[in-house]
Structure 1
Amino acid sequence: MSNAGKVLTIGNATLVPATGGVSGKVTEIEGQPFYCIENVDAMPPFFISLVSSSDHWMFIASTGGVTAGRVNANFALFPYASDDKVTENYEICGSKTIFHITKHDKTSLWEPFSQRYGGLYLLTRNLYKNIAGTHLIFEEINHDLALVFRYAWRTSEIFGFVRTVEIENLDGEPVQVEVLDGAQYIQPFGILSQSQIQTSNLLNAYKRNELESEAGIGIYTLSSTLSDMPEPNESLRATIAWQHGLTPKAILLSSVQVDVFRQGEAVSTEEDLRAQRGAYFVNSEFTLPGNQRKEWHQVMDVNQEITAVIALREALKADAGALWQRVADDIAAGEKKLVELVASSDGLQCTGDSMVNSHHFANTLFNIMRGGIFDDQYFVDKAYFIDYLKLHNLSLFDQRDSLLAGLPEKCTIGELIAFAEQSQSPALLRLAYEYLPLTFSRRHGDPSRPWNQFSINLKNPDGSRKLDYQGNWRDIFQNWEPLAASYPEFIENMICKFLNTTSGDGYNPYRLTYDGFEWEVPDPHDPWGNIGYWGDHQIIYLQKLLELSGQYHPGTLSEFLGKRMFVYANIPYRLRSFAQMLEDWYDTIDFDRALNNAIADKVKQAGTDGKLLTGVDGEILTVTMAEKLFSLLL
C-alpha cells in the first residue's frame, strides 16, 4: 500500500514535503565561477575533497560531515574516519549553527542542515564549489522565515582552516537573531589516527579545553599523551580556534550546552573543561535589518606551540580586523598559488566550453596531487640532490665534496646528467637519471580507501621546502604519463625509475617514494597486509613513456639499450616452481622474511640502494636496458 500523497503531522505542525528536483549550473560569486548543485539534499549523499596549495587535507560529505587536518591523519582537526562515518556524523562533527529568530513577537527555532526538524520548514539546500576546488559553500534557504544561511570552508597556509558564515534577510522587515554557531568534535593535538579509531572514548579522558578569555581563543590539548608507561608524557602543542565578526555573549568549548540552547535556555561561557570532546561555539545576539546580510568567521589550526597562541592573542587584542584581513589575504594567496601549480602542468586552457576547461583543470590538479609537480621546472638544487644521495647511497654521500666539486649550486637536469656521465661513477649516473625533484604528491588515500595512508610532505621541520613523492605503482605512473608531456626532459628519468625498481622476475613492488620503493610485508592480522607483486598489466605505463621518449627524443632509447646503468630491485618475494604452481595455483609465491630483515639492515648501513640486487662480489648488479626489457617480456 502506497503512502504517496498522505499529509503528515508532528504535534500541531503539518510536515512540508520536499519540492524541487536536482539541477546543476555554473554561477558567479564575488567575481569567481562556482558550480552549483541545486536541491543537493534530494541526491544520495556524496563525498567531496577540498584542495589546498599547502598541506591541508579536507574530506566533506554533502551532508556537512567533515574530516580535516594537515599533512596526514595524525594531525587531524576533525577525526579521521571512514567515509560512511563522516557522512553520518554531520550532527556531531563539523559545522553546527542554531538560530532563535524573533519576528512579530514570535521566536522560531531554526537549525540549518539538520534533519531534527525535517519537514517543518519549506527549505532549499544548495551546494557550491569553485572551479579551483578551494572554496565550498553550503546554502540553506528558509522560505518560511525569508532567511538564507550559508557557511563556507576555505584554507590558509598560515592560519589553518577558515569557516565563514553568513545569514541574509530576504524580507524588508528586520529580525532579531540569537545564534549559537561554531564547530564541534575538535581534536586536540597529539591524537594518532589509530588511537582515535580504537580508543576514542579513552582519549576523551585525556582531553582539556581551555579558553584564553582576553581574545576568545579556544585551546585544545591532551593532559598527557596516551601511554601506559610510568613516565612523564607531556603534550606541549595544541589545536586552536578563534572567531571574528560576532560579539560574544558566551563562548562554549564543548557541545554539552547545545541542547540547552535548543530548548531556549541561556548558555554560559566555558573556561576550563576536562574529559570532554572539543567544540568552539559563540553565542551572540544582533538585529538583522531587512534585505541585509551579516557575516562572521571562525579560524582553526592544529599543531600550535604556546608562542603561536600568545602571538595570536596579542594580534587579536591589537586589531582583530587587521588580523582577519591577513587571513583573507593569505586565503587569496593560497588560491593563486594553486592555480599556478596547475598552470605549471598545462592545466589551464580556454575553449568555447567552460565545462571542458573546468574538467581539464580538475583532471590536471588531481594528477599532480597524485604524481607531484616539478619543484622548479627543469632546475636542480645541488643541496637537494646531495640530500637525495644521503637517502639512497651513503657511500656516494660521503664522497660528495670531491664527487660533486664541479657541480654548480643550481643546474638543469640535463646538466646534472652530463656531469654524472663525466664522473665515471655508475651509481652517480644511475641516481642522476632516476632523480625526479617533485613536490605536492601524496598517496591516493582518502576515507573511502582505508588501506592507503597519505602524507602531504611539503616542508621540512625547519620550514624549508621539501621534495617528496609517494604513491602506489599504478597511481604514480599513470599520473607521470601526462606530466611527462608537460616536462619532456624528465621522460627518460621516469623510464629509468620504472626499470630500476622492477625485480629479476620482471615484476614491480607495491609503492614508489622519493626515498625509493616499498613492498608489502604480509601480516596475518591485517586483511590489507598481503603480498602485492605485479607485472604484465603494469607494462602499459612503461610503454606510454617509451612512446613519449621516441616522440620527443628520437634515438635516445637506442643509446640506452646497451648502456650498463640499470639495476634490479631485490624484492623478498620468491615465486614457486612451475610444478608447485600447478599443484596449487592459489598459493604461488612465498615471502622471504629472513631476506627482508637482511635488506632492512643493509638499508640502515648503505641507504636505500641496499634494496637493490647484488652480484657474487657483493656489489650492486648493473645490467643494460635491453636485459631489463627482456626480463619484463619473459
Structure 2
Amino acid sequence: MRKVKLGSQVLQAQAMEAKGDFVNFEGQAFYRIQKVNALPPFFMTLVSPYDHWLFVASNGGLTAGRAEAENALFPYYTDDKLIDNAAFTGPRTLIRAENKDDQSLSLWEPFDPNERGWYQIERNLYKSLQADQLVFEEINQDLQLRFAYRWAFSQKHGFVRDCWLENLSDQNQKIECLDGLENLLPYGVETLMQDRRSTLVDAYKKNELEPETALGIFSLSSNIVDKAEPSESLIANVVWSPQKPDLCLLSSAQIKNFQQGGDLEAETFTKAQKAAWLALRRWDLKVGQKVQWSLVAEVGLSTAKVHNLKAELQAPGIAASLEKEIAQSRLELESLVAKADGLQCSGNALVQSRHYSNVLYNIMRGGLFESGYQIDSQDFKQYLKLSNRPLALKEQSLLDSLPAKLTYSELLSFVQNSANLDMRRLASEYLPLSFSRRHGDPSRPWNRFSIQHLDEQGQKILNYEGNWRDIFQNWEALAYSFPAFIEGMIFKFVNASTVDGYNPYRIAKNGIDWEVIEPDDSWSFIGYWGDHQLIYLLRLLEHCEKHYPQKLAGLCNENCFVYADVPYRLKSYAEILQDPQDTILFDQALHAQAESRFKEIGADGKLIWNADKPLRANLGEKIMLSLLTKLYNLVPGGGIWMNTQRPEWNDANNALVGQGLSMVSLYYLRRFMAFMLDWISNDEGEWHLNSTLMALYKDLNLIVKEHSNKERFSDSERKDFMDRMGLAGEAYRQLAYRGELGVKEPLRLKDLHEFCEQTLELVDRSIAENRKENALYHAYNLLALEEKEAQIEHLYEMLEGQVAVLSAEKLNPAEALEVLDALKASAMYRENQYSYLLYPDRQLAGFLEKNRIRPEQIEGKQLSHALLEKDVQGDYHFKGQFRNAKDLKAALEKLALEDQAEAVDAEAKFWFELYEQSFVHREFTGRSGTFYGYEGLGSIYWHMVSKLLLAVQENLRAAKHNGASADVLGRLIDHYYEIRAGIGANKSPQLYGAFPFDAYSHTPSTAGAQQPGMTGQVKEDVLNRWSELGLEVRAGQLHLDPFFLAEDEFLQEGRSFKYVDAAGQWQSLDVEAGELAFSYCSVPFIYRKAQKAELRIEFFGAAPEEYSEQQINEKWSRSLFDRHHEIQVIRVDLPLH
C-alpha cells in the first residue's frame, strides 16, 4: 500500500477487523465492538421504559425525541440520511491539546465521519445488555487521550449524554474541549415540514441562552402557518449541563475558527440558522486523570416548565439526581423484560443476551401485561366507553359495582351477571397491554409509531397498536408468559375478521382500521393478506387447546363474536376471472357510515350492525368461515389463489397478486385441517352455523367429495373445479354482504371430521404434486386462465415454501431431513453468512443489455417507428415510456385512433409477444426480483430464517414423540444448530455487521444487518428458546424435556439470578456451577445436570413436592399458567447424556 499525504501530513492507514466481547464500563455490563469503524455504519435502537425514542447509527448520526416523530430533538429523517448527516447532526466534539515544545495546538475531532488517518486511533462502541445505553469511545494513540460519551435516559429530564476525557500519557496535558450538540430542532416542527421545507423552518428559528445557568432554549419565533393570523409558539426544546462551562455557543458558525486556533466569543442569541449548544471547557489534565461532564436535552417544555428547570439548575445536587434517574430508567426497563420472562442465567452470555433482546422487542411491538392478570377497573370502564358508549351507559350499575382491582378471570365471571353478550365480548377481548407501538423507525419510514406512556394526571396509559399481521405473532410469544390471556387474544383476532372471511390492516385497543385509497400516495392501496389469516389464528388456537383443553369447545356455540365492517367488497367470480388483479371495490358510502357510527358509538361502530346490535356469530362460525374462504380459492395442484389484491408474508412478491397461487397458504391450510381432525376427533357434539355459511359448507363438501379420490386434475378439470368452488364462494358473499345470514343450523362434528379428512386428502395430493425432483417444494405458482382451462406454471424455489411445508405437519422425519439437506445444497444457501436467502440470487440484465431488438425481428412491421427507437448500431429499443404492457396497450389504442387502426389490428399481438419476450413480465413476482435490499435479490430476511428454525424445532420434537432413531434425531439437531449458528447471536460483529445479540430485519449482499429490533423474527426466536429449554405444554400439563439443549448453557461458575415474580417483585436466587436458570410465567426454574431425572417444586409456605417424571401435573401447571404465586421455584435434575 502506498503512502498518502494531505499537505505534508502522511495519513495513517489502519488494517482493522471488528471484534466483540463482554466488558464493564463505569461499573455496568456492556457488550463492546472493538474497532467498530472497521464496519460500515449500522443502525440501532436505544430503548427507554418511558416514551423516549432514540435511533442512532454507529457513526454517531441520530434522531431522538418523545412519544412520536413529531416531537423530535433532531430532524427525523430516514436512516440513510441520518448516517450521512452524522458530521453535522447530533454530538460534536473538538479537542485542542497544547504541545509543550512550541505551544502549538493539536486538533482532534473524535468520531469525525470524515477522519482520514490524521492520527492512530481506535474506535469502540459499547451497548448495554439492557439496550438502554450506548457508549462511543475513541482512543487517540498519538495524543494519548481517550474520549467517550454515553447516551442514557431520564424520565424527568430527558436525554442524558455523559462524557469522559482521560489523559493516558505519562505527562500532564493542557486541554481545550468544545463539545455539545448540533442541528437541534426547536419544538413544533413537523416531520413533513422539516423534510420538505427545512429552509423555511430555519427562518423561524430562535435560539437563546439563559446566562445564569447556560440553559439553551430552542423555539420558533411563531408557529409556521400560512394563515394570516397570529400563532404564538409557547413550547421549547432545551439543552443544559450540570457543570457550567466556560462559555457556550448557540450555532456552529465559530467551529472553523476554533479548528484554526482562534478564540471563541460567547453566543447568547442566534436566529434564522441551525441551532447548536456547544460548550467550551478547559483543563490541565494530570497524568492518568479523567474528567467527566454531562449535558441533558429535552423536548416540549412550556414557559413555566423552563422557569422551573432554571430554578432546579441553580440548586445543588442535579448531577447526582441524574445518575439516580438513569439507574431508575434501567431498572424499570429491565423489570418490563423480566415480567415477560426475558431474564435468564446461562453459561452462554450471547444466547442469554439475545433472549433478553428478543423479549424486549417482542413486547415493544405487542405490548406487555405489566400487572400480570390484574385489572384496573377504571381502565376497563374507560375502555368500555371507547368501545361502546351506549353499552357503558346502560351497564353503569354493573360497572359501578366492580372493585377497584380484580383479576382477568374475576372480570369474566363478573360480566356473566350481565345478560348482554357485548359485555361478555368486550370483557373477554380486553387486554391491559402497555409499552406497545407500531414498528416504525427511520429504517421503516412507512410505519408511524406513537408511544403512549402517561396521561395528563401522570397515570400509566394502557394501550397497544400495530399492523394486524404483525401484532398477533408477537402476542403468540407473549402468551407463553401469560397463557390465560390467550382467550382474549382469540376474541380480538376473530372479532376483527370480516363477514367475507378476512381481516383489516391495523388493530389497536380502541378498535380497527383499514386502508383507504389516497390519490396523492403512490403506495396507497387496499386489499387483504392471505397466509396470516390461517397460520396466526391456528397458532393461537393450538396454544389455547394445549394450555386449556375444552376452553375452545365451550366457545364454539357461544354467540358473543362479531364481524368487522371493512368497506371492501369482493367482486363477482366472473369479474375476478376477468381481472384477478382488480378484485375489490371500496364502498365509500359504507366507509362513511362506519366512520359515522364510530364517532357516535365508539370502536363498535366499525362492526357490522343488525338493527340495534352488532351482527352475532360464534367461534365455530368464525373458524369455518376462515377455512372455507381459503378452500373455495383452492386451485388443485397449484395452491390458494391470491385474488384479494395483496401478497402474503413477503410483501415484495406483490406482483403475484391475481396471477399467483400460494402453496404457502395451502401448507398452512393443511396444518389447520390436521388440527381440526385432532381437536374434534372424539366429539359427538355439533356446531351451529348460520344457514348461509352452512350452505357454503354443503356446496364445498359436495365438490370435495366428488374429487377427494382424484389423483390428478387436467387443465379443464381444474378450471371446472375452480368455477364451482368460486361460484359457491360468490353465492355466500352476496348474501353475507346484504346481512342475510339466516338462522342457525346444526353441523354434526362427526360430519365435519369426515369433511376435513376428505379435504386433507385433496390438499395432500396437491402438496405431493409440488415436490420437486431435488426434494424441495414449490412456494408459489402462476395461474394461466383460459375460458375452459386453468394451467399451472412453476416459479423458482423459495425459502418460504420450505418453511411452510416443514410446518404443515405433513412430512415424516426422513422427508423433513430430505428437505433440509436439499435446502443446504441449494442456491438459496449463502455460504458467507452460513444462512439462507429468500430465493436464489441472480444477476439482472445491465441497462444496455435489456430492451435490445435486432432489425430482423421487426422486419416489415409498420408500427416500429411509433413504438421503438433506433440506435447508432442499427438495433432497436422500446421507447422509454413503456414501463409495462399496459403502457404499450395504451400507445396502441392511441395509434388506432390516429388512422393506424388497420396496422394495430394486424400487429398488436406481435408487439405484445415481443414485449413479453424482451422483459418476461409473466415471471415478474414484484419488487422482490428487482431490488437488492429488504426482501430483494441476494438478501437474507432473518424473520424467515427464524421461521425455518422454528419449523425444524417442531419437526425435531415431533420426531422425538414418534420414537425416531437416534441417528434421525441427531441429524435434525445438527440442522437446528447449523441454522441457529447463522442467526446473529452466534456471529462476530465483523460478520454480522452489528451487535450480534440484536435482531435485525435483513442482511443484503452488499452490507451488514439492516433495520434493527422490531422485526417479527423475535417471536420465533422466543418460541425456539422455550423449546431449547425443553418447555412443552400438552393437555394442560407442562413437560420438561430439554433433550437438545447445548452443553455450554450450564454455568462454569455460580452466580446470582434475578427475576420478577408473579407478584411483580424483584427476587434473586443463587445458581451454582453446572446449573442454569430462567423464569417462565414469572416462576424460576433451575436445571441441574445429575445422574437421574427428578423434579422438585418448592412452594411459599408449604412443603416441597418431588417427582421422578419431568412433567408438572395439571394442578400445578394450572397454578403456573394462571400465575397464582404459589410456586416459589421449580428445580429440575436432568440425567447426563
Which of the five TM-score ranges fits, normalised by the shorter chain? over 0.9
3-state SS, counterpart of residue 96 of structure 1: strand
Q: Does 1:61 align with 2:63?
A: no
Question: How do residues 556-567 of structure 1 correspond to structure 2 at under 5 angstroms?
Answer: 556-567=551-562
Question: How do residues 194-343 of structure 1 correspond to structure 2 at under 5 angstroms?
Answer: 194-245=192-243, 247-319=244-316, 322-343=317-338
Aligned to 1:174: 172
3-state SS, counterpart of residue 69 of structure 1: strand
3-state SS, counterpart of residue 281 of structure 1: strand
Aligned to 1:500: 495
Residues 147-166 of structure 1 show CA distances to partners (whole Å, capped at 9, x for unaligned) of 11111111111100001111
Distance in 1 separating the partners of 2:520 and 2:474: 32
Structure 1 residue 38: Cα displacement: 1.1
Residues 167-196 of structure 1 show CA distances to partners (whole Å, capped at 9, x for unaligned) of 111111011111110001111111111111
Structure 1 residue 264: Cα displacement: 1.4
Conserved? CA contact 2:180–2:276, under 8 Å: yes
Conserved? CA contact 2:252–2:276, under 8 Å: yes
CA separation of 1:80 and 1:115: change in aligned 2, threshold 3 A: closer
CA separation of 1:139 and 1:514: change in aligned 2, threshold 3 A: same
Question: How do residues 70-85 of structure 1 correspond to structure 2 at under 5 angstroms?
Answer: 70-85=66-81
Match of 1:10 among 6, 11, 19: 6
CA RMSD in angstroms, aligned pairs only: 1.2
Aligned to 1:628: 622
Conserved? CA contact 1:471–1:511, under 8 Å: yes
Aligned to 1:447: 442
3-state SS, counterpart of residue 344 of structure 2: coil
Distance in 1 separating the partners of 2:191 and 2:470: 24
Residues 476-523 of structure 1 show CA distances to partners (whole Å, capped at 9, x for unaligned) of 111101111111111100000000001112111111111111111111
Match of 2:135 among 131, 134, 137: 137
Conserved? CA contact 2:561–2:616, under 8 Å: yes
Structure 1 residue 597: Cα displacement: 1.2
Conserved? CA contact 2:249–2:266, under 8 Å: yes
Question: How do residues 608-623 of structure 1 correspond to structure 2 at under 5 angstroms?
Answer: 608-615=603-610, 617-623=611-617
3-state SS, counterpart of residue 378 of structure 2: helix
Gap regions ≥5 residues in structure 2? 629-1137
Question: How do residues 382-401 of structure 1 correspond to structure 2 at under 5 angstroms?
Answer: 382-401=377-396
Q: How many residues align?
A: 626
Q: Does 1:575 align with 2:575?
A: no
TM-score, normalised with respect to structure 2: 0.54
Structure 1 residue 628: Cα displacement: 0.6
3-state SS, counterpart of residue 486 of structure 1: coil
Distance in 2 separating the partners of 1:490 and 1:207: 50
Aligned to 1:520: 515
Conserved? CA contact 1:535–1:632, under 8 Å: no
Distance in 1 separating the partners of 2:532 and 2:493: 14
Residues 43-90 of structure 1 show CA distances to partners (whole Å, capped at 9, x for unaligned) of 111101111111000000111100000000010011111000001100
Structure 1 residue 400: Cα displacement: 4.2
Distance in 1 separating the partners of 2:155 and 2:20: 31
Question: How do residues 536-555 of structure 1 correspond to structure 2 at under 5 angstroms?
Answer: 536-555=531-550
Which residue identity lines up with residue 294 of structure 2 in the other structure?
Answer: H
Distance in 1 separating the partners of 2:305 and 2:596: 41
Which residue identity lines up with residue 240 of structure 1 in the other structure?
Answer: V
Distance in 2 separating the partners of 1:239 and 1:187: 7
Distance in 2 separating the partners of 1:483 and 1:559: 23
Distance in 1 separating the partners of 2:73 and 2:410: 44
Which residue identity lines up with residue 178 of structure 1 in the other structure?
Answer: E
Conserved? CA contact 2:545–2:552, under 8 Å: yes
Conserved? CA contact 1:175–1:289, under 8 Å: yes
Distance in 2 separating the partners of 1:308 and 1:427: 45
Structure 1 vs Structure 2: percent identity of aligned residues?
45
Aligned to 1:35: 31
Conserved? CA contact 1:22–1:37, under 8 Å: yes
Distance in 2 separating the partners of 1:433 and 1:189: 41
Conserved? CA contact 1:522–1:529, under 8 Å: yes
Which residue identity lines up with residue 16 of structure 1 in the other structure?
Answer: Q
Residues 299-341 of structure 1 show CA distances to partners (whole Å, capped at 9, x for unaligned) of 010011222222222222221xx01111110110010011110
TM-score, normalised with respect to structure 1: 0.97
Distance in 2 separating the partners of 1:400 and 1:286: 70
Structure 1 residue 224: Cα displacement: 1.0
Distance in 2 separating the partners of 1:471 and 1:480: 11
Distance in 2 separating the partners of 1:463 and 1:406: 26
Conserved? CA contact 2:105–2:261, under 8 Å: no
Residues 321-379 of structure 1 show CA distances to partners (whole Å, capped at 9, x for unaligned) of x0111111011001001111000001011112111110110000000001000131111
Structure 1 residue 117: Cα displacement: 4.2
Structure 1 residue 24: Cα displacement: 1.0
Distance in 1 separating the partners of 2:241 and 2:346: 42
Gap regions ≥5 residues in structure 1? none
Conserved? CA contact 1:76–1:187, under 8 Å: yes
Distance in 2 separating the partners of 1:520 and 1:346: 35
User: Which stretch shows the higher mean deviation, 201-210 or 307-316?
Assistant: 307-316
Distance in 2 separating the partners of 1:405 and 1:124: 65
Conserved? CA contact 1:503–1:571, under 8 Å: yes
Structure 1 residue 269: Cα displacement: 1.3
Q: Does 1:88 align with 2:84?
A: yes
Q: Does 1:425 align with 2:423?
A: no
Structure 1 residue 461: Cα displacement: 2.5
Structure 1 residue 437: Cα displacement: 0.5
Distance in 2 separating the partners of 1:315 and 1:134: 26
Structure 1 residue 249: Cα displacement: 2.8
Structure 1 residue 532: Cα displacement: 4.0
Distance in 2 separating the partners of 1:293 and 1:20: 27
3-state SS, counterpart of residue 471 of structure 1: strand
Aligned to 1:46: 42
Q: Does 1:488 align with 2:486?
A: no
3-state SS, counterpart of residue 587 of structure 1: coil
Conserved? CA contact 2:336–2:370, under 8 Å: no
Distance in 2 separating the partners of 1:341 and 1:529: 36
3-state SS, counterpart of residue 121 of structure 1: coil
Distance in 1 separating the partners of 2:256 and 2:191: 29
Conserved? CA contact 1:386–1:400, under 8 Å: no
Which residue identity lines up with residue 491 of structure 1 in the other structure?
Answer: I
Which residue identity lines up with residue 412 of structure 1 in the other structure?
Answer: T
Distance in 2 separating the partners of 1:467 and 1:478: 20
Conserved? CA contact 2:527–2:584, under 8 Å: no
